[in-house]
Chain A
Amino acid sequence: MLLFIEQCLNGLQFGLLLFLLAAGLTLVFGIMDLVNLAHGSLYMLGAYFAATFAAWTDSFVIAALLSLAATLVVGMALEVVALRRLYGRDHLDHVLGTFGLILFFNELVRIIWGPAGMSLPLPMWLIYPIEILPGLFYPTYRIAIILTALLVALFLYVLVMRTRLGMLIRAGASNREMTGALGVNINLLYTLVFGLGAALAGLAGLMQAPILTVQIGMGENILILAFVVIIIGGIGSIRGAFIAAVLVGLIDTIGRAFLPDILRLVLSSRGASTVAPAMSSMMIYLLMAIVLVLRPEGLFPVSSK
């Protein structure tokens, strides 16, 4: 039972991390109608920035804040220099252009940081596990990730639904020309939104960095998971992204942990141990297929513009 709770927490943590990535993607897609494959590169940059700044400043928190600011700046620069020109173009153009950007960023990272990976050590106060239930110790750092991501989700909700800036963002999403005609600097607004999405990706990257190695291409596989999340949730919907991300995180983690045991009930133990690893990585894609059959527009479709 304790193991199950622990795995659920791991799933929640992974899901919330996916949410940070998916939120940026879905925001950029919902508002600018831009498919950004290079989102995973921003995640990678967030991790590299954090590892570098941590080595300079010796402080995890300062490094995290600096890294957030840096990805924000990189994101806004990227929007102004390149992606702005892709708005209103065909989705195929987005795919191709941002695919090129992935190559560019991977190579840029290799030039600046070298081909070997980096690691981001945790500060002492985040290493020790704490007892959250009698007998259940859980790493402080993972709890910190869960809390941070929940706060960010709340922040996004308040920002988009309760502030003037959020109102402008929503207005820009539903009618770009009209919002511009009413005197809103729509270009600046889009740059800000893209920067926000980039910072979210950077946050996900820097929080993941101490758990995994910081390496080139680290953003690519998780980017596809983020795509699965926003397909399941409904593209453009932050609420959908949140629910789908937690769902995907839980199913993936729990599947990996318990699928071998479940399969052993039906298959021979040798058969189960061959099939289980392949099966558990495929489960979320199966989930996506099922959602698509039942609801082709995702669980929380955004009404068409």
Chain B
Amino acid sequence: MIASLTPRNVVVAVLLLLLAAVPVYAAVTANAFLVTLFTRVIILGIAASSLNLILGYGGMVSFGHAVYLGIGGYAVGILAQEGVTSGFVQWPLALVVSALFALLVGALSLRTRGVYFIMITLAFAQLVYYFGVGLDRYGADDGLTIRRRSQFDDLINLSDRTQFYYLCLALLLATIYLIWRVVNSRFGMVIQGARSNDRRMRAIGFPTFRYRLTAFVIAGAICGVAGALLANHTGFISPATMHWTRSGDLIVMVVLGGMASSFGPLIGAVALLSLEEALPILIRAMAFPVFGDAAVRMAEYWQIVLGPLFLLVVLFARGGIDGLLAGARRG
């Protein structure tokens, strides 16, 4: 990566610097909410990056990716409930169970194409969702409170908000680096080749099914770790974590940020979660001069703006934010 001063690189660099500075700024202004918000942004950035590997580079539109957030989270939650709080057990288990589930789902769903694939991944995610709803022992619908964050002996203290934040940030960068290495390897070229023309790839001798399945499993495993982080962050896990609209959110992040770009999903996660925070404020500010006090109530309905915004992104900004930045360089 030889970085030149393109608009895209400047934005990414500034974003990373800002992310690194969040706890410092929060400490100075005594605004703990910022750290909480951005820890969430970063964790979802990891999840979205893992989805980008199969969605952006591999062309596999998985509509059930949030299920790994749930599996990773439940791995932490259930073990904690049973008295195993060591992160050295919890996190590897979150990773392994997610990978195994991805192997199962991938083996079945990668036999199909297009819209079948979308709906099958969705349906498998629903299967696990209902399994979670039926888990009476572990809170069923209401979910499970995790009283103790994962313990890593003296290595790191996750209960410390700042330490946890920087751990998440480090894992995010590691994920982005890993995926960058993967997609630029021979393996990644096969995945991308299969996205463009699967039949041709098979004709020249690549068993693309195995390659695609491996990518699917890697994505699931990474997202499982993100799930373990998320459960530690919120101290809570419930089936709602893997509701299909959460999977939709992850897709939105990837597409909004820019598919098949290293930092796109992170940009998308920042953009989507910032929009969710900013839209109510924005609506209130814009409606107040016209509608007066009714503006406060109007601000509650911010999703009515967010929804059509997705449609506009689809119609007019196919490359997402990353595409716009890359376009700005050219034009």
Contact = CB atoms under 8 A, between A and B. Distances in A.
Same assembly: yes
Interface of A: 29, 35, 82, 85-86, 89, 91-93, 95-97, 99-108, 110-111, 220, 224, 227-228, 230-231, 235, 274, 277-279, 281-282, 285-286, 288-289, 292-293, 296-298
A95 B310 CA distance: 10
A100 B127 contact: no
B28 interface: no
B294 to A, nearest CB: 12
B330 interface: no
B123 A285 contact: yes
Given A85-B315, A293-B108, 20 more contacts: A35-B118, A91-B118, A92-B251, A93-B318, A96-B311, A101-B307, A104-B307, A107-B307, A111-B304, A227-B122, A227-B123, A228-B119, A231-B120, A235-B115, A281-B130, A281-B134, A282-B127, A285-B126, A292-B109, A298-B116
B310 to A, nearest CB: 3
B61 A91 contact: yes
Nearest to A235: B115
Nearest to B135: A278
A274 B303 contact: no
Contacts of B126: 224, 285
B307 A92 contact: no
Contacts of B135: 278
Contacts of B112: 292, 296-297
Nearest to A92: B61
A89 B316 CA distance: 12
B131 interface: yes
A293 B245 CA distance: 27
Nearest to B304: A107
Contact of B309 (A91, A100, A282, A296): A100
A296 B308 contact: no
A146 to B, nearest CB: 26
B301 A110 contact: yes
Contacts of B115: 29, 35, 91, 235
A240 to B, nearest CB: 13
A104 B312 CA distance: 13
Contacts of B119: 227-228, 230-231
B314 A104 contact: no
Pick the 5 closest A-B CB pairs, nearest first: A278-B134, A100-B310, A104-B307, A103-B307, A281-B130
B311 A100 contact: yes
Nearest to A83: B311
Nearest to B134: A278
A99 B133 CA distance: 23
Contacts of A288: 120, 123
Contacts of A102: 245, 307
Contact of B311 (A92, A97, A105): A97
A129 B135 CA distance: 36
Contact of A278 (B130, B251, B306, B318): B130
Most buried by B among A82, A220, A289: A289
Contact of A104 (B130, B303, B313): B303
A69 to B, nearest CB: 25
A224 B119 CA distance: 8
Nearest to B298: A111
A105 B310 CA distance: 13
Contact of A289 (B108, B310, B313, B314): B108
A111 B301 contact: yes
B123 A95 contact: no
